[in-house]
Amino acid sequence: MKRRYLLVLAAAAIGLPLAAIAAAGSPERAAILAEYATRARAADPGFSGFSMQRGEALFRGSFSGGDARTPSCMSCHTADPRQPGRNAKTGRPIDPVAVSVDPRRYTDAAQVDKHFARDCKSVLGRDCTALERGDYITFMAGQ
């Protein structure tokens, strides 16, 4: 309780809308989003919050800069993140990544960081920015 309260204060201090905390649903996820918000603002002072729509566009987009086996996040996570996916390179099944199916998603900072770095490189040929990461989690938190 106390921790959540502190996070709300921290988020308010950096100007993250309180609605974003509610959307985040867990203090751990809120902390990850708050960190990305700080970095997004540092990169662009005009940053005004994360967007579910931009997150969905990243998730559904098709890109050519990365590994030919994975032009899209959907290549492994499928078009419906509530469904199990499959690794397009190795064939290994992947559990659903939507928060409504697995509330532990996007709560372990090390796991989240590792997968953004690895998966974005695979799809886009580069890491995702803090803005893209925050948008993506915001989209997944609503799925």
Partner 1 sequence: MPMRLLMALAAILLAGLPAVSQAGGKQVAPVADPLTQKVCGECHLAFPPGFLPARSWSALMADLSDHFGEEIVLPAGQAAQIEAYLVSHAGDAPGGGGLREFMRWVAPTGIPRRITENPAFLREHDFPDRVWRDPKVVTRSNCLACHPGASRGWFDD
Which C-beta is closer to ligand HEC: that of 31 or that of 88? 88
- Partner from ligand HEC, partner 1, none contacting 76, C-beta within 5 to 8 A by type: ligand HEC
Q: At closest approach, how far in Å is the CB of 119 from partner 1?
A: 11
Per CB under 6 A, does 56 bind ligand HEC?
Answer: no
Q: Using alpha carbons, select from 55, 52, 48, 46 the residue that is nearest to residue 16.
A: 48
Q: At closest approach, how far in Å is the CB of 129 from partner 1?
A: 19
Per-residue binder mask for partner 1 (CB under 8 A), 3-42, x = binder: ----------------------------------------
Report the run of H or E that residue 86 belongs to, with start and end.
Answer: strand 85-86
For 84, other C-beta atoms within 10 Å of its C-beta total 13
Residues in region 88-107 near ligand HEC by CB under 6 A: 88-90, 94-95, 97, 105-106
For 46, other C-beta atoms within 10 Å of its C-beta total 5
* Residue from 16, 20, 34, 120 binding ligand HEC (CB under 6 A): 120
Stretch that binds ligand HEC, among 3-11, 18-26, 41-49, 116-124 (CB under 6 A): 116-124
Q: How wide is the angle at C-alpha 61 spanned by C-alphas 139 and 32, nearest 5°?
A: 35
3-state helix, strand, coil in the chain (%, to 5): 55, 5, 45
Per CB under 8 A, does 88 bind partner 1?
Answer: yes
Per CB under 8 A, does 123 bind partner 1?
Answer: no
Provide the Cα torsion 62, 75, 141, 50; round to 10°: -20
